[in-house]
Amino acid sequence: MAEHADAGSAGHTDGTGDPVSSERIVAPGADDLERAAEAALRPRSLDDFVGQKIVRDQLSLVLHAALGRGAAPDHVLLSGPPGLGKTTLAMIIATELGTSLRVTSGPAIQHAGDLAAVLSSLEEGEVLFIDEIHRLARPAEELLYVAMEDFRVDVVVGKGAGASAIPLSLPPFTVVGATTRAGLLPAPLRDRFGFTGHLDFYDSEDLERVVVRSAGLLGVPLAHAAAHEIAGRSRGTPRVANRLLRRVRDWAQVRGDGTLDLAAARAALEVYEVDRLGLDRLDRAVLRALCTRFGGGPVGLSTLAVTVGEEGETVETVAEPYLVREGLIGRTPRGRVATPAAWAHLGLEPPSDGLFAAV
């Protein structure tokens, strides 16, 4: 995810805990350019944020009530699948409060001392965004409990029997945590968030609005039919919609006349192997393996992953959620199975004795 400009060097280390020098100049890679492009399309306020109406309304009440009291708002937990706007909402929270945003992530905080260093540098009213907060190390979690509830950290001085804890007061601040797996958060940490918002997948209408807005920011002409086509293949995810829009723009620039019409959208998405349901190469590889190699299943996740040449975690977290949501595969105690919809999508005839033959 792209980080907010106000984040400065927070969370950026060379692996030893020392800040990485910002003076080192390197050529931007493809990932850097993609993140920069995504950041340019991010909405800057709740009014500009498309979709998630319930979460937006609830969050607006929390922020404006806090502003009216002149106090820091309750800590905020945002959960939901990747690409739905959790990082963007964290940036918007800081903007709405008129303060800066510090950015870090759960995997980057391996020790309680790492978190203590971040917390002790916070200024009054600042927002601390912790991405993938469910991956915090246990000692850091326990330190965060106290910091969120009592605005203090206990700094341990010395070692062994002579060690002592010195409480260090912190100015009021707001933690915004983001997680794709809320069930992995321990209850004591989850209970310290005063507001929890769950982001759901977008419908096609909201995704069309996202695409139209992004096309305007990119300064490219976009036909309504093209916006509808891109939205329909975006897997209910704004990040995917913006990525596909940029690929269609590339195709129109290089092989078309610069206009993003329906023909350009379909031609571009065919080049990038995104089919009418939004399935990509990995998704179709999983379906083909299930149907052609294992007769529709059931088959274990690890076996399926080896067959398609990917890690099990990649198949489980990247491909499987969307395939399950679209009713193309099912998860059973014996393994993954292909549904009749999967066979139909691949243009294959399901076996008469398959698990879903009677469906």
Q: Given 42, 190, 233, 239, which residue is catalytic? A: 239
Architecture per CATH, 5-10+29-198: 3-Layer(aba) Sandwich (3.40)
In this structure, of 7-11, 106-110, 133-137, 298-302, the range with the lowest mean pLDDT score is 7-11
Check residue 233 and give its pLDDT: 92
Check residue 158 and give its pLDDT: 53
Please tell me the CATH code under which domain 281-346 is placed.
Answer: 1.10.10.10
Check residue 2 and give its pLDDT: 40
3-state secondary structure of 22: coil
Q: Given 56, 87, 235, 266, which residue is catalytic? A: 87
Q: What is the mean pLDDT of residues 320-327?
A: 87
Is 239 an annotated catalytic residue?
A: yes
In this structure, of 4-13, 202-211, 276-285, 317-326, the range with the lowest mean pLDDT score is 4-13
The Cα 173–Cα 176 span in angstroms is 10
Is 48 an annotated catalytic residue?
A: no
Check residue 31 and give its pLDDT: 54
104-154 pLDDT, tens digit per residue, is 888 888 888 788 888 888 888 889 999 998 888 888 888 888 888 888 877
Q: What is the mean pLDDT of residues 80-95?
A: 90
- 78 pLDDT band, cuts 50/70/90, is very high
Check residue 77 and give its pLDDT: 93
- 163 pLDDT band, cuts 50/70/90, is low
SS in 3 state form for 39-74?
A: HHCCCCCCCCCCCCHHHHHHHHHHHHHHHHHCCCCC
Contact in structure between 330 and 339 (CB atoms under 8 Å): yes
Q: Where are the domains of the chain?
A: 5-10+29-198, 204-271, 281-346
DSSP assignment letter at 236: T
Q: Given 42, 104, 131, 261, which residue is catalytic? A: 131
Burial class (CB in 10 A: 0-12, 13-18, 19+), 303: middle
- 226 pLDDT band, cuts 50/70/90, is very high
Architecture per CATH, 204-271: Orthogonal Bundle (1.10)
Nearest by Cα to 115 from 137, 99, 87, 91? 137
Check residue 264 and give its pLDDT: 92
Q: Given 88, 99, 179, 180, which residue is catalytic? A: 180
Compute the mean pLDDT over every residue in the chain, rounded to the nearest whole number: 82
